[in-house]
Structure 1
Amino acid sequence: MEQVFDVPARPRPDQVIGRADVLARARGHLAHGGSLLLYGPAGIGKSTVLRTLAEECNGEPTVLRCSATESESHLPFLALVDLLGLVADQVSDRLPAPQRAALESALTGRGESSLQRDGLALRLAVLSVLRALAADGPVLIVVDDLQWMDPASAELLAFAARRVAELPVRVLGAVRTDADPQDQHDRYLRAFPQDVLTLRVTPLSRPDVSELLDGRGHTGLPRAVVRDIHRTSGGNPLFALELGRALAESRTPPRPGEPLPVPTSLRALVLNRLEMLSAETRRTLLIASAGARPTLATLRSAGRANAEGETGVAASLGLVEMDPDDGSGPVRFAHPLISAALYAEATPEDRRSAHAALAAAAVDPIERARHLALATSGKDERVAASLAEAAEEARSRGAPSMAAQLGLLAARHSPEGAVPTADERRLRAAEDALTAGEPELARATAREVLARATIPADRVRAWSVVIDSAGQALSEVDDVFPQALADAGDDPRLQGLVRYQLAWRALVDGQMHEARAEAARSAALAAQAGDRRTELLALSFKALNETTMGHPDAAATLALASAEPQDPDVAMNHNGPVYIRSRYLLMSDQLDEARAALTWLAGEARQRGAVETEVYSVRSLAEIELRSGRCGTALDLARESLRLAEDIGIGEGFALQIASLAEAAGGTVERALSLAGDAVRRAEADSDMPYMTRALYALGHARLVGADPQGAVDALRRVRALEREMGVTEPARGRWQGDLAEALVLTGALGEAREVIDETRRHALRLGRQSILAVLERAEGMLLAARGDTDGAVAVLTGARQRMSALGYGLDEARAVLALARVEADRRNRGAAGAALDEAGRLFRRSKALPWLEQTGQAPAAPAAAAPPELDGLASMERQVAALVLEGATNREIAAALFVSVKTVEATLTRVYRKLGIRSRVDIVRLAAGRRAG
């Protein structure tokens, strides 16, 4: 697809990946003259953040730097030499002779200077140098790896820090520690002036790790592998890069169920402590590392009689963490890398022995089958059948990712002549991987089957997986369709499968009529073959296509797709009748019914682990909340949908589009424009015309909200042209028409605005789209006012407001009142204009529509307590629970407020702690306090 027009590249706020918040908080504190201490474990990225902040301060008159190392920490005054060695001469003539002599001796090493002999003179000399430098302008002292600073330099810096509070002297430092130095009254803080903020550099998220790996040349890694890298590294960027490098250098990537290769450089970080352990203790820890959720009880059942004592020794060395009050409790490694390194260091024989012990101890059938497989080498149908049964159990539990792994293990252990065949088990595993949102694994597995399969049914099934794994980028698999048709031959069931995929291909190309025809062929062929699943999918697709086109058969086709008998898997699929019906209800202004259907679907998808269906369901729920005027809730849902989509790499385009609309309604226009730009670029890359119209609508809407009506016209005119080209006549599909008409009025193109209004009204009347008619009334009122008929404009806008209110479209109602206020102002009816403006402000405030509220000149209501930005990475429920914790609510009070059980609150808080890297609800409050301090 040709690029439709230039969209500015999305700006990167920082070149440092995943650190936007810590950088923003640090910059704010530094800008107000404060000092800053970054802390966190080794490799977490403290030096990168420190370097970025220091480079931004290079314009200051004086920046003093030092970076200590462990090997040189015994050398006295070395840090002082790094800090003052190049600047002391500039101010030495301002120092008294004794101070000058003591400082020169310490910096050059020519004398026998020491704190014992020249203590006072040296202390005063350092203070005098800083005062002299500060007299010429601000001074920034940058100290990396503060834990290795030699004691003499640390003492001198601490002496000066206590006495420069009134001077423009700041200290920017980093220290390797897991605990907040403020909580520990840490000695490191002695080197900082009184106004110091401590900031923890937290682990990277999975998308951040993916971006980091891509930036270092480790591109094209499957998302499942990136997930494993993120889990094994614990979000530590240094560890993640080392794991990525090891994968790049490995000739044989790990198979499902196997851990990542851990390079020697990382093993050395933990294995030196293992040398202090006995062979029996190491054996116990190896078994723990091979388990999914090892406990003391499991280890004892696996034959480790002294598990409690041996893990206690490991805990004393910081290798594992134990609950002292739970004698059979979990054995948690202090860092995932320790477990990975232990396992990687073991011999294959020792690993198999560990898995055999765990298989004998396992009660859960899934765990037993998995360990049995990893303990067995070669083909064994007994093992393969056990794995296949475990995969089915995992599937029923809503764990499709685990089902895919077990299925692939079953295929690996399947001997020749087994029934089901190894290829059949691989294909089921590939389909599970698709459900779990792992398209790369699904595609690779299907390609493996295609490389040797000769049975047409297996080949067509594999081609379907390859096509589905492409997501919206169907143009990338154009060569697949003729091959799939050839393999299908004259078999109506196989032909029905392929025709269903061809319907999607035609839709992506914007060939709506051809897509409808292919869907009809698919449904007929599937019905002939008795393939109810494909028939239901094809009918659902046809219903969606007809709804989008405004075709009169849409309702009848949807009824056929919803008729019994139903297939449970299709019913909860985002391409199935429940989801398609929800879209139909949404376009028909039946918001409550659509919300109920989508809430059920999202819950089912979450329970079954069907991530792609969850993405689409949550996205559509966000759209409903936008229509209803609940912009804050819509923004939460849209962000959650986008996080899920980015995590699995499927449905990102649709998630970007609704996220942009939600940001334009309840977030920031800048963010809305950025997301819309991403959406347009993705549609261009995927050559997806239907999605291009949605992306361009988001871009045009964001420009309109951002007071760029001409930019809005440019984008929305293109939407109009594309939908005409595709044959789309359903105005409720995109809902862009009112925005285009308003933007045209604002740019003076009144004739074209009238044309858009009249054309859209004809289709809306034919289809009974009441909310579209109300939106057009708002545009009509603006058009009348532009032509001088302000009385008519007031009447029309008043009617539009009433219609929107009756339909429950809160945001559109507020926009109609805002337009009314502007018309009244044009009529110089100050009283009516003021009243309407106040009413618009009230409605926008109720909707939490902050960008629109700004247009009324009114400020949003101040929140009771600003949640720290660390909470932005949480899911919607997690964020609500954390926010209530900040307000001091107990678990029981939170449960009552959110209509959930106390156990649900407790489980949610556990996830919050894990994601934020904290241990208690007190730490959540500390995050908020740290934000306010910044």
Structure 2
Amino acid sequence: MTVRRDFQESARCRSDLVIGRDELVTAARDQLARGGSVLLHGPAGIGKSTVLRALAADYGEAARVLRCSATESESHLPFLALADLLGLVLEEVAGKLPTAQRTALESALTGRGESTLQNDGLALRLAVLSALRALAADGPVLVVADDLQWLDAASAELLGFAARRLGDTPVQLLCAVRTEGQEYDRHLRASPPDTLAVRLDPLSRAQISALLDHRGYTDLPRSTVREIHRTSGGNPLFALELGRALGENPTPPRPGEPLPVPTSLRALVLSRLDMLSADARRTLLVASAGARPTLGLLRAAGRENAEAETTQAAALGLLATEPEGPAVRFAHPLISAALYAEAPARERRAAHAALSTAASDPIERARHLALATTGTDPDVAARLAGAAALARERGAPSVAAALGLLAARHTPAEGTPGPDERRLLAAEDAITAGETDLARDIAHDVLGRATGGAARVRAWMVVIESAGQSLGDVDAVFPQVLADAGDDPRLLALVHYQLAWRGLVVEGDFAEARQEAAHAAELAARGGDRRTELMALSFQASTETLMGHPDAPATIKKALREPQDPYVACHHNGAGAARFRWLLMSDQLPEARTTITALLREVRRRGMVESEVHFQRFLADTELRSGHCGRALDLARESLRLARDSGIGLGASAMLASLAEASGGDVDRALVLAREAAGRAEEDGDQMYLSRALAALGYAQLVAGDAAGAVGSLRRVRELEHGLGINDPARGRWQGDLAEALVRTGEVGEAQELIDVTRAHALRLGRESVLAVLDRAEALVRAARGETEDAVDRLTSVQDRLAKLGYGLEEARAAFALARLRAAPGSGPASYDEAARLFRRCRALPWLRQVERAASADAEPPAPVPPAASVPASDALDGLAAMERQVAALVMEGATNREIAARLFISVKTVEATLTRVYRKLGIRSRVDIVRLAAGRHAT
């Protein structure tokens, strides 16, 4: 058992975890640590060997490892795998085997003699079993077998015989086998009874992206990574081969063109193509060129015998055989990609030409027409531009961007609109779709040629937009953009709108950001650019809201005036979002939820990925404030997944996910996410989101019981927001948490000062929920000063106010604080039922666990109380601070540190620190000395 514990610890300490397989690897490690066996299974290239090597490397530190790795070409050689496993230990175990078994085993492994399963069956089977038992007598043994499907039949039979009979012998199997579906059953039956079958499934897009980055393919556009994931089907081997081919290809594929499929993969998936008839192969080529091929589409494209030819392909495993109506689906996306890549360009164009008339969707017809056409053609370009506009209306900006680039390719240089104008429109569609790297590449391509100010400024705007929160990376371009804009108010409005963002993100100056936004709105109005005017007004309104500026409501109304722009109305920096922020900060939670739900629905319809990421986070924030922690956690996790997948809003999504995890999920996970968000904000130089991330970190630390850590994080938030000029406490709502943490660490004076300053701002702005939370914190201050009755009255009122405002989690926290005060020494029995009920209603699991611990501590029988415990602390412990006197008094009652922490609503670490100060002030060394000192003073 010690060996297995050591194995678990060494496995946890390894940093080279297999990408995308964390949970799977953990389950397998736990199985091995329990003494069981593991069978990894899945299709070729899915990563079985990689996982097997990682597990074997971990276990090799705790046990002897016997290995074999079979190949298809050697699978006909009998006893080859057995020789790999036992050949090097034969001399070690031979002397421990009976003569008949030793002779049979030596003959099989060395090739001397005529040993076969037919001649020496029982002796050979028993010899393998005895050899494994002999090795296990000196310590655990792990048998590692890769590519089990190629194991020679004799070795497989012998290994299975032994595995089924090992019993409690410390021999475990770690095997990997190539399978499709549930074909691993027969291999599982040949394994020990306690074997865990683990299937390796395809990786997600984010995991494929991480894998490519890890292997050095870091410069691939996000749209290309998405295509790699689609083509590979999530298979890591296929994805890496595609990435390698792209890395070696000096000319990346253009939109609409397939990925280059390397020869290694073509050979892997197209080995059965030669068995197809020529007509069937042409039919499959047309299917590979189509977006959603059906039998009807293939017939319309001139493939009259499509049904018979696809049936032939399905019999060869090239097409899926399960019924899916009229759809024609390849068995794996890579088969389609390889088939298309293998075809000559002339045959591809012919396939697209046939589909350009057969497809029913106008977008598909235009795409096929473009891919069937060479050179520039204004009619083809116009049809593609129209298809891009239709895709945009349908909420498919990614498709619109690809079609726009095809339109630009077919647009003559002297045409109107010109190719660069169409490229820029495609770049703007790419921004909307969240494909910022593609947009940036297009913009730089235009900047390399364009000389006109309008085109250059528009391209610079794409470059700046694609930087996201990392505006510091493009800070140097602003002088050039201003020069390109000249004195054109429309162009200058675009530049000053981005300068407003620069003032907020880079400079951390809300006043400057507000001024630039107002100037941008004026310039846009003068130039007749209503969209930019509305965006600038919305930004100004949001800035004023966060500043607590009195003009914020008026600016919001101005931004909402007609005529409106549908794009701005639902943009995450538009007027609707500004109004949502105001509603949320003004305690209008139901209306805020309705507003953000409608906005989220609209951006999903339009395919606005960046706005979707932000709005999903906003909705999670609304649910969290309402006390719907489970719902908030689901939304926050989905927002973070989407952010990681798209590369948009990662820091902000990690911040909100941290808050949701600390409230309704895993506190350790919350701490990790908060530190990730803070690290990203610091790396980007984003002071605004840095303060939000640190506030999330402070809250998670408070929930985790680290009051001192929470104080450190939240004090830094206070400094940052003071420097930024943020005066509205409803923005981050961290002040109550800091005050509570300060009480827990015994810094009651600072807590009261913070409450007084924050209350003044909250009163001025009418922030009722903030005022209630501040009153809850002040009740804790009063309790720490011994004013328990007043504290109880305050908390009772606070709980009622928060319930009426709809802040379920804050209401539950007030009930918890009230129960803990009532459980204080001398207050009589207290019930935590109400707090537990409220936290349970919120699904606030971390808080509910705190309630359970507090209730458990109060339920424990008190320790024997020495006679001196009846002496009032004020008689014996003069000169101590209020918190120190309370802790000392509870020590004299016989309370443990954990009981003291529960009753005073502080952490155990704070109790320990307070006692250290008491010892130092009184010149004593232990808690027993406190009792003795008090008893001595009482006697005099």
Question: TM-score scaled by structure 1?
Answer: 0.89
Q: Please name the residue that 1:115 is paired with.
A: 117
Choose which of 52, 55, 76 in structure 2 pairs with 1:53: 55
Residues 814 and 299 of structure 1: CA distance in aligned 2, closer, same or farther (over 3 Å):
same
SS in structure 1 of the partner of residue 219 of structure 2: coil
Does 2:491 correspond to 1:494?
A: yes
SS in structure 2 of the partner of residue 175 of structure 1: strand
Question: How far is the alpha carbon of 1:11 from its aligned partner?
Answer: 9.7
Question: How far is the alpha carbon of 1:120 from its aligned partner?
Answer: 1.0
Q: Please name the residue that 1:641 is paired with.
A: 639
In the alignment, the residues of structure 2 paired with residue 166 and residue 648 of structure 1 have an alpha-carbon distance, to the nearest angstrom, of 50
Greater Rg by CA? 2
Q: Please name the residue that 1:854 is paired with.
A: 849
Does 2:556 correspond to 1:561?
A: no
Q: Please name the residue that 1:759 is paired with.
A: 757
8 A contact 1:431–1:465 mirrored in 2? yes
Q: Please name the residue that 2:393 is paired with.
A: 396
1:7-55 Cα distance to aligned partner (Å, 9 max, x none): xxx9997621000121122223333333221111111001111112222
Q: Please name the residue that 1:175 is paired with.
A: 177
Question: How far is the alpha carbon of 1:102 from its aligned partner?
Answer: 0.6
Letter in 2 for 1:670: D
SS in structure 2 of the partner of residue 141 of structure 1: strand
Q: Please name the residue that 2:26 is paired with.
A: 24
8 A contact 1:399–1:609 mirrored in 2? yes
Q: Please name the residue that 1:584 is paired with.
A: 582
Letter in 2 for 1:264: T
1:723-777 Cα distance to aligned partner (Å, 9 max, x none): 1111110101111111111111111222211111111100000001111111111
Stretches (4+) displaced over 6 A: 10-13
8 A contact 2:188–2:197 mirrored in 1? no
Q: Please name the residue that 1:881 is paired with.
A: none
Q: Using the TM superposition, name which of 444-453 and 432-441 deviates more.
A: 444-453
8 A contact 2:508–2:687 mirrored in 1? yes
In the alignment, the residues of structure 2 paired with residue 189 and residue 140 of structure 1 have an alpha-carbon distance, to the nearest angstrom, of 17
In the alignment, the residues of structure 2 paired with residue 72 and residue 512 of structure 1 have an alpha-carbon distance, to the nearest angstrom, of 71
Q: Using the TM superposition, name which of 119-128 and 742-751 deviates more.
A: 742-751
In the alignment, the residues of structure 2 paired with residue 546 and residue 380 of structure 1 have an alpha-carbon distance, to the nearest angstrom, of 51
Question: How far is the alpha carbon of 1:466 from its aligned partner?
Answer: 0.9
In the alignment, the residues of structure 1 paired with residue 277 and residue 839 of structure 2 have an alpha-carbon distance, to the nearest angstrom, of 67
Choose which of 71, 87, 92 in structure 1 pairs with 2:94: 92
Write the mapping of 1:534-933 to structure 2, written as runs, cut at 5 A.
534-832=532-830, 835=831, 837-857=832-852
8 A contact 2:730–2:770 mirrored in 1? yes
SS in structure 2 of the partner of residue 733 of structure 1: coil
In the alignment, the residues of structure 2 paired with residue 60 and residue 86 of structure 1 have an alpha-carbon distance, to the nearest angstrom, of 19
8 A contact 1:790–1:827 mirrored in 2? no
1:307-331 Cα distance to aligned partner (Å, 9 max, x none): 11111111111111145574xx111
Does 2:360 correspond to 1:358?
A: no
In the alignment, the residues of structure 2 paired with residue 856 and residue 167 of structure 1 have an alpha-carbon distance, to the nearest angstrom, of 46
In the alignment, the residues of structure 1 paired with residue 790 and residue 131 of structure 2 have an alpha-carbon distance, to the nearest angstrom, of 76
1:76-131 Cα distance to aligned partner (Å, 9 max, x none): 11111111222333232221100011111111112221111111110011111122
In the alignment, the residues of structure 1 paired with residue 93 and residue 806 of structure 2 have an alpha-carbon distance, to the nearest angstrom, of 72
Question: How far is the alpha carbon of 1:440 from its aligned partner?
Answer: 0.6
Question: How far is the alpha carbon of 1:350 from its aligned partner?
Answer: 1.2
Question: How far is the alpha carbon of 1:180 from its aligned partner?
Answer: 2.0
In the alignment, the residues of structure 1 paired with residue 102 and residue 189 of structure 2 have an alpha-carbon distance, to the nearest angstrom, of 24
Write the mapping of 1:147-158 to structure 2, written as runs, cut at 5 A.
147-158=149-160
Does 2:166 correspond to 1:164?
A: yes
Does 2:366 correspond to 1:376?
A: no
Q: Please name the residue that 1:438 is paired with.
A: 435
Does 2:452 correspond to 1:455?
A: yes
1:305-361 Cα distance to aligned partner (Å, 9 max, x none): 1111111111111111145574xx111111111111111111111111111111121
8 A contact 1:60–1:139 mirrored in 2? no
Q: Using the aligned pairs only, state the percent identity.
A: 67
1:855-899 Cα distance to aligned partner (Å, 9 max, x none): 112699xxxxxxxxxxxxxxxxxxxxxxxxxxxxxxxxxxxxxxx
Question: How far is the alpha carbon of 1:132 from its aligned partner?
Answer: 2.4
Q: How many residues align?
A: 843
Question: How far is the alpha carbon of 1:168 from its aligned partner?
Answer: 2.9
Choose which of 484, 504, 526 in structure 1 pairs with 2:501: 504
8 A contact 1:794–1:823 mirrored in 2? yes
Note the residue ranges of structure 2 that are not aligned, 5 or more in a row.
1-11, 856-940
8 A contact 1:39–1:200 mirrored in 2? yes
Q: Using the TM superposition, name which of 271-280 and 513-522 deviates more.
A: 271-280
In the alignment, the residues of structure 1 paired with residue 403 and residue 356 of structure 2 have an alpha-carbon distance, to the nearest angstrom, of 14
Residues 78 and 437 of structure 1: CA distance in aligned 2, closer, same or farther (over 3 Å):
same
Q: Please name the residue that 1:191 is paired with.
A: 190
1:253-283 Cα distance to aligned partner (Å, 9 max, x none): 0111111111111111012211111221111
8 A contact 1:322–1:330 mirrored in 2? no
1:683-710 Cα distance to aligned partner (Å, 9 max, x none): 0111111111011111111111111111
Question: How far is the alpha carbon of 1:60 from its aligned partner?
Answer: 3.6
1:886-919 Cα distance to aligned partner (Å, 9 max, x none): xxxxxxxxxxxxxxxxxxxxxxxxxxxxxxxxxx
Letter in 2 for 1:387: L
Write the mapping of 1:57-72 to structure 2, written as runs, cut at 5 A.
57-72=59-74
Letter in 1 for 2:393: S
In the alignment, the residues of structure 2 paired with residue 355 and residue 85 of structure 1 have an alpha-carbon distance, to the nearest angstrom, of 59
In the alignment, the residues of structure 2 paired with residue 12 and residue 754 of structure 1 have an alpha-carbon distance, to the nearest angstrom, of 46
In the alignment, the residues of structure 1 paired with residue 718 and residue 108 of structure 2 have an alpha-carbon distance, to the nearest angstrom, of 76
> Whose relative contact order is higher, 1 or 2, with alpha carbons under 8 Å and at least 6 apart?
1
Residues 196 and 365 of structure 1: CA distance in aligned 2, closer, same or farther (over 3 Å):
same
In the alignment, the residues of structure 2 paired with residue 426 and residue 42 of structure 1 have an alpha-carbon distance, to the nearest angstrom, of 41
In the alignment, the residues of structure 2 paired with residue 564 and residue 294 of structure 1 have an alpha-carbon distance, to the nearest angstrom, of 45
Letter in 2 for 1:71: S
Q: Please name the residue that 1:925 is paired with.
A: none
Letter in 1 for 2:602: E
8 A contact 1:41–1:177 mirrored in 2? yes
In the alignment, the residues of structure 2 paired with residue 30 and residue 604 of structure 1 have an alpha-carbon distance, to the nearest angstrom, of 49
**Aligned CA-pair RMSD:** 1.6
In the alignment, the residues of structure 2 paired with residue 787 and residue 759 of structure 1 have an alpha-carbon distance, to the nearest angstrom, of 20
SS in structure 1 of the partner of residue 67 of structure 2: strand
Q: Please name the residue that 1:134 is paired with.
A: 136
Question: How far is the alpha carbon of 1:570 from its aligned partner?
Answer: 0.7
Residues 341 and 739 of structure 1: CA distance in aligned 2, closer, same or farther (over 3 Å):
same
Q: Please name the residue that 1:202 is paired with.
A: 201
1:572-624 Cα distance to aligned partner (Å, 9 max, x none): 11111111111110001111101001100111111110011111111010001
Note the residue ranges of structure 1 that are not aligned, 5 or more in a row.
1-9, 861-934
Question: TM-score scaled by structure 2?
Answer: 0.88
In the alignment, the residues of structure 1 paired with residue 95 and residue 806 of structure 2 have an alpha-carbon distance, to the nearest angstrom, of 77
In the alignment, the residues of structure 1 paired with residue 183 and residue 266 of structure 2 have an alpha-carbon distance, to the nearest angstrom, of 28
1:660-687 Cα distance to aligned partner (Å, 9 max, x none): 1111111111111111111111001111
8 A contact 1:61–1:136 mirrored in 2? no
8 A contact 1:14–1:20 mirrored in 2? no
Letter in 2 for 1:54: A
In the alignment, the residues of structure 1 paired with residue 828 and residue 20 of structure 2 have an alpha-carbon distance, to the nearest angstrom, of 49
Does 2:298 correspond to 1:296?
A: no
1:160-202 Cα distance to aligned partner (Å, 9 max, x none): 12212343332211100012246xx42x224311122211101
In the alignment, the residues of structure 2 paired with residue 429 and residue 244 of structure 1 have an alpha-carbon distance, to the nearest angstrom, of 25
Letter in 1 for 2:264: S
In the alignment, the residues of structure 2 paired with residue 346 and residue 788 of structure 1 have an alpha-carbon distance, to the nearest angstrom, of 85
Q: Please name the residue that 2:516 is paired with.
A: 518
